[in-house]
Chains A and B, each alone.
Chain A
Amino acid sequence: MTTPAIPEGVKRCSTRQFTLWLAVVGAVLLWGVYAMFLIWYKGLNQTGMNDAYGFALWIWADLAVIALGGGAFFSGFLTYIIGKKELKSIINYAVIIGFICYSSALLILALDIGQPLRGWFIFWHANVHSMLTEVAFCLSCYFAVLTIEFIPLVLENPKLDRIPFLHHLSHNMHEVMAVFAATGVFLSFFHQGSLGGVAGVLYGRPFAFREGLLIWPWTFFLFTWSAAAVGPCFTMLVTWLTEKITQKKLVRPEAFELLAKISGWMLLTYMIAKIADTWYWAAVTAPARGFSLMEFYSNNPIYGIWILIAELVICGIVPALILITPKWRENKNLLVTAAILAVLGVCINRWVMVLQVMAAPLLPFQDWYMYMPTWQEVATTILPVAYGAILISLAYRYLPVFPHEKELNPGQ
C-alpha cells in the first residue's frame, strides 16, 4: 500500500488547484529570479543606489524580515525554555516563518554586496569590532539552528517518516530541541542587537548615532526588544491570513491569546524605552553635534515629523494598548489591526534607521539625498515574499504543521 504524501486526517485542496496556485506565485518568483541574475551578471549599477545611498531598499528589507522573523526565536524561547505549553500549537509555524525570513535575508545580503564571490571574506578575514561581522556570523549560525528546528517537521511527512533512520532522527532531534532553541535565543539576541548596532555606532551620522552601554549603542537593545515584541505579531498575522485562505481553524485560541498578551507587554515596554531613547537623542546627543530635532524632519519631500509620530504613537503605543487590554485583544478584528500596526511600526523603524540616515544631509551646504529603487531592486525584494508563499504552501500541504488542526476542524 502506498503512503499518501499528505498528513493523515486532514483535508487539502486538489492537486490541480494547488498546481495552479503554485504557477501564479511561481511567475512572480521567476520575475524576481530574473532580476537577481541581472544584478549578479551586470552588477549593482542595476539598482537605484548611489554613493550617498550605500544602504537602501535591500538593507531595509533585510532588517525588516529579520525583525519579523524574530517570532521564531521568541516563541522558541517561550515554548522550550520558559515552558509555555499553549504555544506548541503555533511553534512549528513560527519556525517556518522564521526560516523563510532568515533565508530571504541571507539571499538579499548575497545580492547586496558588490563582489558576491568574496562574500566569505566576512567570515575568513573577520573584523571582530564591526557590527556587520557579528550580524553575518550570528545570522548564519542562527539560520543553521532554524534549519535544525525545521528538519524534524519535514521528516514528519508521511512518506519520509516511513524511512526508519529519518523517523528516529526526527524523534531524537525533538528530544534535544531545547538545547538548539537556547542556542538560537543566544544567537538571536546578538544578531538582532548588532543589526541595531549597525546604525547606532555610526558616530559620523548624528541621525543614527546613539550612546550606549560599553560597546553597545542603545539601538542594540532596542532592536532585540522590538524584534521580540513584533516578531510574534507577524507570526499571528501570517497564521490569521493562512486561516482565512484555508478557511479553517489551525491554531488554538489560547496560543493566540498568550502570544498577543506577551507581545503587547513587550511592545509597551519597548515603546517606553524607545521614547526615552528618542527624547535623549533629540535633547542631548544630536544638539551636542549641532543638530536640532526638526532639522532631521524638515526641508525634504518625505521625512516630516509625521514619520516619528507614526512609528511611536500610531504604530507603537496604539497596538501595545490594544494588545495588553484583554477585552480588546479577544476581538479578532482589533487583534489583527494591532498586529498590522505593530508590524508596520517596526518596518518604519527599520526604514528610518537605514534610509533616513542616508538621506539626511551632514554639511549645512548639502541638500537631502533622495533615492528611488529600480524595478530590479523591487523585484528582488518581492522575490522572498513569493518564495515564502510557496514554502508555506508546500509545508501546509505536506507537513503536519499545525498539531491541533484535526481537533479544531472535526467535521473534515
Chain B
Amino acid sequence: MFPFSFEWVWDISHLVFMGGLWYALSIIGAGMTYCVIKSLIDTAADEPGEGGHGHH
C-alpha cells in the first residue's frame, strides 16, 4: 500500500493500481475537507445568537 512496505515494487502494476487508489482517496479526502472548512466558515459567518436557522 505504501512504498515503504517491503513488497512494494516500482513497476507499472503498482503505479496503475495504487495511482488509482490514491487518486480516489485524494478526491474523497479533499472533497470532505472542503465541505468541513466551508461549513465552519459559513457557521462563523452566521449572525451570532440566531440559533443558526439557515435557508435552502
Which residue, of A125, A141, A162, A164, has the highest number of chain B Cβ atoms within 10 A? A164
Interface residues of B in 14-55 (CB under 8 A from A): 14, 17-18, 20-21, 24-25, 27-28, 31-32, 34-36, 38-40, 42-43, 46, 51-54
Q: Is the beta-carbon distance between B42 and A168 smaller than 8 angstroms? A: yes
Q: Are B31 and A179 in contact (CB under 8 A)?
A: yes
Chain A residues closer than 8 Å to B28, beta-carbon distance: 141, 144-145, 148, 180, 183
Give the docked Cα–Cα distance between A171 and B43 (Å): 12
* B residues with CB within 8 A of A: 1, 5, 7, 13-14, 17-18, 20-21, 24-25, 27-28, 31-32, 34-36, 38-40, 42-43, 46, 51-54, 56
Known A164-B54, A183-B27; judge A169-B21 contact (CB<8 A): no
When the two chains form their complex, are residues A168 and B38 in contact, meaning their CB atoms are under 8 A apart?
yes
Q: Which residue of chain B is the closest to A183 with respect to CB atoms?
A: B27
Residue of A nearest to B6 (CB): A125
Known: A124-B5, A134-B17. A167 touches B52 (CB 8 A): yes
Tally of chain A residues near chain B (CB < 8 A): 31
- Which of chain A's residues have a CB closer than 8 A to the CB of B17? 126, 128, 133-134
A259 to chain B minimum Cβ distance, whole angstroms, is: 26
Which residue of chain A lies nearest to B38 when distances are taken between CB atoms in the complex?
Answer: A172
Note all chain A residues with C-beta closer than 8 A to B14: 128
Closest 3 pairs between A and B when the two form their complex, measured CB to CB: A164-B52, A168-B39, A128-B17
Decide: A171 near B56, CB < 8 A? Known: A126-B1, A162-B51: yes
Cα-based distance from A164 to B34 in the complex (angstroms):
17
* Chain A residues proximal to chain B, CB less than 8 Å: 123-129, 133-134, 137, 141, 144-145, 148, 162-165, 167-169, 171-173, 176, 179-180, 183, 186-187, 190
* Chain A residue contacts of B51, Cβ below 8 A: 162, 164
Which of B1, B27, B53, B54 contacts A179 (CB under 8 A)?
A: B27
Pick the residue among B27, B32, B43, B53 that contacts A165 (CB under 8 A): B43
Question: Would A169 and B5 be within 8 Å (CB), given that A128-B18, A141-B25, A183-B27 are in contact?
Answer: no
**Separation of A145 and B53 alpha carbons in the complex (Å):** 28
**A162 & B52 in contact (Cβ 8 Å cutoff):** yes
Interface contacts beyond A123-B1, A168-B43: sample of 13 additional A-B pairs, CB < 8 Å, sorted by A? A124-B5, A125-B1, A145-B28, A164-B52, A164-B54, A165-B40, A168-B54, A169-B36, A171-B39, A172-B35, A179-B27, A183-B24, A183-B28
Cα distance A134–B46 in the bound complex, in angstroms: 44
Residue in A closest to B40 when the chains form the complex, CB atoms: A165
Contacts of B31 in A (CB 8 A): 148, 176, 179-180, 183
**Which residue of chain A has its CB nearest to the CB of B56?**
A171
Closest to B21 in A: A137
Decide: A173 and B35 in contact? CB cutoff 8 A.
Answer: yes
Partner of B24, one of A124, A134, A186: A186
How many whole Å from A157's CB to the nearest CB in chain B?
A: 15
Complex contacts, A164 vs chain B, CB 8 Å: 43, 46, 51-52, 54
> 20 A-B pairs, CB-CB below 8 angstroms?
A125-B7, A127-B7, A128-B13, A128-B17, A141-B24, A141-B25, A145-B28, A162-B51, A164-B46, A164-B52, A164-B54, A168-B38, A168-B42, A169-B35, A169-B36, A171-B54, A171-B56, A172-B38, A173-B35, A183-B31
